[in-house]
Amino acid sequence: LANPQWGGRFAAGPAAIMADINASIGFDKRLWRQDIRGSLAHAAMLARVGLLTAEEETQIREGLHQIAVEIETGKFEFSTELEDIHMNIEARLSERIGEAGKRLHTARSRNDQVATDFRLWVRDAIDGTVAQVTALMNSLATRALEHAASPMPGFTHLQVAQPVTFGHHLLAYVEMLSRDRGRLLDARARLNESPLGSAALAGTSFPIDRRFTAHALGFDRPCANSLDAVSDRDFALEYLSALSLLAMHLSRLAEEIVIWCSSPFSFISLSDAFTSGSSIMPQKRNPDAAELVRAKVGRITGDFMGLLMVMKGLPLAYAKDTQEDKEPVFDATEAMTLSLAAMDGMIQDMTANNSRMRALAGTAFATATDLADWLVHVPRLPFRTAHHVTGRLVGMAEAKGCDLADLSLEEMQSVEPKIDSSVFAVLTVEASLASRTSEGGTAPENVHRCAQAWLERLDNAHE
């Protein structure tokens, strides 16, 4: 049978394979709330400009509310013949209320309808992601405050470099996440224009009020160009690109958690709640959740690249290709929702092994830079000379199999006679940390202040 929505032109229905490739109801049913919301705004506008009677509008409104209940309670029968969520809901409305239902599609096309629905969906997804990112930032800043003065080895090239505090390390991720949040909010601001009323591609001859529907749906204004409005998917791409960067940041933190949990490191431990065992090795405790968060970046970036390639080379205006915009967005959103929740759980769950981190923070000549800095501060050697002197002292200590602080004053003076006994005070981990008071540095007082400032800012963001 021909599709009832365009049966006038068609004598026969589609081939089975045509129905299969064409239908999107399997995945776009997730847009049902947005579709109903858009239709309610559209009907209210049609009534306002006199294209629907008040009574017709009431019938449509009530009919749509009933359909919402049907869908919510699992009573709605989705039909593949009706292709997508838009025609499923519209056909059901006409079935329920007759004539008035058939007037709903006046001055509208599925092209502006789907673009509107999808913008609403992505906007909600952005709001959900921003809330989750904010919660994770809160957890990280809370743990950072707790560990503002806890020493840990700082790394470059994954080699012990200089002591830092665990709190400082955690706050680095708060900074990254705050940029992610900014990117999501930027994308939201550009997304927030309404395609509704662009109709198929050219606009419409009906005296519609696009500002009314835009504001009813929480958009800032209508999209300016009808061709652009029905074919633009930048909003979905910007969202996916922001998610890709966010996922990349989460994968870095996840990787650090994996490393920190590994027994040669033992910087932190995760409880039973966030680890799993081995089916053969009875002693094992594996950080599977962290590994999965580390992996999700592949999938999310794949979703971004996939949609980017769908959009490449598409001529104006609407083309069915854009029906392929939804699955990557749904998939990436699901993966990100899980990742953020799991990461937040792990950050709250982890126990820091402070004594282990403190012990390693001073190994591998981690305070050599402090010695070089002392040579600049006290005997006023030029930094390059100080670097060279320190390098020789490190070589000496390494040959003896001891730390820098274990060298005698005489041994030090054999390399640089201007060294006096006050040098030993700068060679401890605590002295090194306390000295890093430059803006953005790891001194515990700095870290304490930054963690507190973040917690205050995040508290205000919640309001």
Q: Under the criterion CB under 6 A, does residue 111 sit at the interface with ligand ARG?
A: yes
Is residue 226 near ligand ARG by the rule CB under 6 A?
no
Q: What SS3 state is found at 422?
A: helix
Active site residue 215: no
d(CA 96, CA 330): 30
Binding flag, residue 34, ligand ARG (CB under 6 A): no
Instruction: Say whether 266 sits in a helix, a strand or coil.
Output: coil
Q: Which of 24, 88, 139, 275 binds ligand ARG (CB under 6 A)?
A: 24
Q: Which is nearer to ligand ARG, 147 or 233 (CB)?
A: 233
Catalytic pick among 157, 205, 279, 355: 157
**For ligand ARG, which stretch binds (CB under 6 A), given 187-195, 302-310, 320-328, 428-436?**
320-328
Stretch that binds ligand ARG, among 125-133, 218-226, 316-324, 431-439 (CB under 6 A): 316-324
Identified binder of ligand ARG from the candidate list 110, 123, 181, 210, rule CB under 6 A? 110
In 32-84, alpha helices (H):
32-48, 54-72
- Rounded Cα gap, residues 440 and 457, in angstroms: 17
Window 230-249: residues binding ligand ARG (CB under 6 A):
none
At closest approach, how far in Å is the CB of 158 from ligand ARG? Answer: 46
The Cα-based distances of 378 to 315, 372, 385, 397 in angstroms read 70, 10, 13, 22
- Residues 209-230 as b/e (b if ≥16 CB within 10 A, e otherwise) read bbebbbebbebeebbeebebbb
Maximal CA-CA distance, the chain: 102
Per CB under 6 A, 367 contacts ligand ARG: no
The first and second tokens of residue 416, run together, are 């640089």
In the annotation, is 278 catalytic?
yes
Per-residue contact flags (x/-) with ligand ARG for residues 81 to 100, judged by CB under 6 A: ---x-x--------------
**How is residue 10 annotated by DSSP?**
-
199 binds ligand ARG (CB under 6 A): no
Residues touching ligand ARG, count (CB under 6 A): 11
At what angle are helices 288-311 and 234-261 packed, to 10 degrees? 160
Question: Are the C-beta atoms of residues 166 and 152 closer than 8 Å to each other?
Answer: yes
- The yes or no reply on residue 75 touching ligand ARG (CB under 6 A) is no
Min separation Cβ 114 and ligand ARG, Å: 4
Hey, which residues does 245 pair with through a beta bridge? none
CB of 10 to ligand ARG, least distance (A): 14
35 touching ligand ARG, by CB under 6 A: no
Q: Which two tokens stand for residue 29?
A: 């049913």
State the Cα–Cα distance between residues 83 and 21, nearest whole angstrom: 10
CA distance 319 to 311: 10
> Looking at 168, 278, 408, 414, which residue is catalytic?
278
Judged by CB, which is closer to ligand ARG: 110, or 169? Answer: 110
Can residue 390 be called a binding residue for ligand ARG (CB under 6 A)?
A: no
Candidates 323, 333, 339, 390: give the one binding ligand ARG (CB under 6 A): 323
| Whole-angstrom distance, CA of residue 228 vs CA of residue 195 | 9
Q: Which residues contact 155 (CB under 8 A, 6 or more apart)?
A: 161
Q: How far is the CB of 13 from ligand ARG (least distance, A)?
A: 16
Q: Which residues are part of the catalytic machinery?
A: 157, 278
Return residues touching ligand ARG (CB under 6 A): 24, 28, 84, 86, 110-111, 114, 318, 320, 322-323
